[in-house]
Structure 1
Amino acid sequence: MAVPGYQDFMYPFLKQLEDGKEYRLQDLYVILAKHFNLTDKDITEKLPSGKQTLIVNRIGWARTYLNKAGLIKVVRRAVFKITDEGLDVLKEPGLIRIDRKFLTRYGCFNEFINNTSNEKKTPEISINDERTPLELIDYNFNVLKNELQELLLEKILECSPSFFESMIVDLIVTMGYGGSVNDAGRAIGKTGDEGIDGIIKEDVLGLDMIYLQAKRWKVDSTVSRPDIQGFVGSLVGKKASKGIFITTAKFSKEARAYTESIEKRVILIDGQDLTNLMFKYNVGVSDEEVYTIKKIDLDFFEE
């Protein structure tokens, strides 16, 4: 038989984890292939790009969606375990299939699907979807981007504080600030006094300086107004007018409102903003596929 769609893998994936044990994703590929009686030809069938097999791609997306709905959890890299919510789902009478429509009952899943780069709610694809192919490409691009951003945050939190500082340097320099990596590297993470984590040149000549505060906190943590007030106080002590507060966490509404009410120019970059910038400037990410949409060149056909 042909490789099933990714939604067809969701229920058997979750069912396999029902015993509460930890499973490696690599082992689940084999288990699910046997479940669907896939042939060697099916298992080795690849995407049009030739870079990944269909079964790996589709089981991977089934895993992602189950995880975002809170039915399974990541124990460590590429190792998964069912959650209490997942066990409750399997107890539902008559349940034999899990798909995207089923998962929309979970707020965390809807937040993942709808969290696009422009922060607008994007409707889910349906059978009778009337959007154009270009609109669907844009939709799926944002789903992939959102997944990548969450993986980036997970990876950043696994790294050391010194690596985080170096990463911030790479990002800021790539954005056109700091002069050179060497100049920026000598500044950031070296001062360590009075609430300032680093100083970086705003331009190559260093005509103005930007003071940095970098906090590698848990994603669900919140940077509050007192944290920002402390940073602003440090700027006053340095007679500085510009600062950037970067965190992997989130900022409270009060913290954001405070920065808008003061004379100092303080930019707040939370985890979402940070990964957006990393995505935009290719820091910590690389191109996997590039699709170019062509159109007719009418000028070419002019006689």
Structure 2
Amino acid sequence: MIPDFQALMRPVLELTSDGAVHPMKQVIDDLGAEFDVSDDERAELIPSGQRRFDNKAHWAVSHLFQAGLLERPLRAHIRITDRGRQALVEIPERIDVKALGRYPEYVAFRSRSRIRKADLSSNPTAETDDRSPLELAQAAEAENRAAVEGEILERVLAVSPRDFEVLVIKLLSKMGYGQHGVVEHSGQPGDRGIDGIISQDPLGLDRIYIQAKRYNGTVVQRPEIQKFVGALMGAQGDRGVFITSSRFTQGAIEEARRVNARIELIDGDRLAQLMVRHEVGVQADAPIVLYRVDEDFFEAL
């Protein structure tokens, strides 16, 4: 019998407890052997075409990653973190979503997926769930989106400041800005606080100026907004977008609202949401189609 994804959490940590980098494929094979999953069960597929057991293993890893117990140093490879080793000691029994609720990052992940805190003790993908197929699909989609948003923000924090600027330009282009003009990267030494320019029309008369700050832990404060506003005034602009991988202080938010120029602020969480929504740095898997009876068809017979 294929175990649920929560039953795989502690075994995943135990299999990686040596601190080495482990290929995900090998971890899945080792889990299959540990739970005595038959070849027929390993071949069983879910509607998206992925193997059911592999899917559950990946979900277990995803939840452990969101809690900071695992990291992904290479593509399709995982490694236990110091927190993961500590969890094996501090949580001697089953490690599941309820146990992961002790970690703030995991609680934030569940909040992003719009799952109530009271649900932390339940299995959101349990096969005994009494929700309708549509409700289950919607819950799974929300949880998947939240997980990917968390993972993509981790990847964003790992890029260089210049690559972050390029990433922002690509995102804004994908969102449709500059469709009738151009979106250009201007960030370089001496750029006077302007990392990119969106020309909304062919002549460049309608412009939006971009500031991009890849910060890991450092928050954007009021003085940086003031500097950006100064850069806008210097460029004779009145509209700007300030994007950061971190967050804005309340003072920074108030400053953006106070000035005459129109300043749009995008923090790390919103950046991740926009990247997923517009499929920048992510790939969409095969969708699941749900059917319902067409009552109008039968009434028209």
TM-score (norm 2): 0.84
Correspondence 1:260 to 2:257:
yes
- Contact 1:69–1:103 (8 Å) recurs in 2: yes
The alignment covers a number of residue pairs equal to: 295
Question: Post-superposition shift, 1:209?
Answer: 0.7
CA RMSD of aligned residues (A): 2.9
The 5-angstrom pairing of residues 202-241 of structure 1 reads: 202-204=200-202, 206-218=204-216, 220-241=217-238
Larger deviation, residues 24-33 vs 149-158: 149-158
Question: Post-superposition shift, 1:245?
Answer: 0.8
State the distance in 2 between where 1:270 and 1:19 align: 36
Q: Match for residue 144 of structure 1?
A: 144
Q: For 1:32-90, what per-residue CA distance to the aligned partner results, in whole angstroms no more than 9, with x for missing partners?
A: 2221222333333322222x222321111111212222333344444433334333333
Q: Cα–Cα, structure 1 residues 92 and 229, in superposed 2: closer, same or farther, change >3 Å?
A: closer
The 5-angstrom pairing of residues 54-93 of structure 1 reads: 54-92=52-90
Q: Match for residue 192 of structure 2?
A: 194
State the distance in 2 between where 1:89 and 1:65 align: 14
Of all paired residues, the percent bearing the same amino acid is 36
From 255, 268, 289, the equivalent of 1:271 is 268
Relative contact order: is structure 1 or structure 2 higher (C-alpha 8 Å, sep ≥ 6)? 2
- Contact 1:179–1:206 (8 Å) recurs in 2: no
State the distance in 1 between where 2:35 and 2:116 align: 35
Gaps of at least 5 residues in structure 2 are: none
Q: For 1:131-167, what per-residue CA distance to the aligned partner results, in whole angstroms no more than 9, with x for missing partners?
A: 5543333222111001111222233344455544443
- Contact 1:191–1:197 (8 Å) recurs in 2: no
From 106, 109, 114, the equivalent of 1:109 is 106
Q: Cα–Cα, structure 1 residues 302 and 39, in superposed 2: closer, same or farther, change >3 Å?
A: closer
Question: Post-superposition shift, 1:210?
Answer: 0.6
- Contact 1:184–1:200 (8 Å) recurs in 2: yes
Q: Match for residue 290 of structure 1?
A: 287
TM-score (norm 1): 0.83
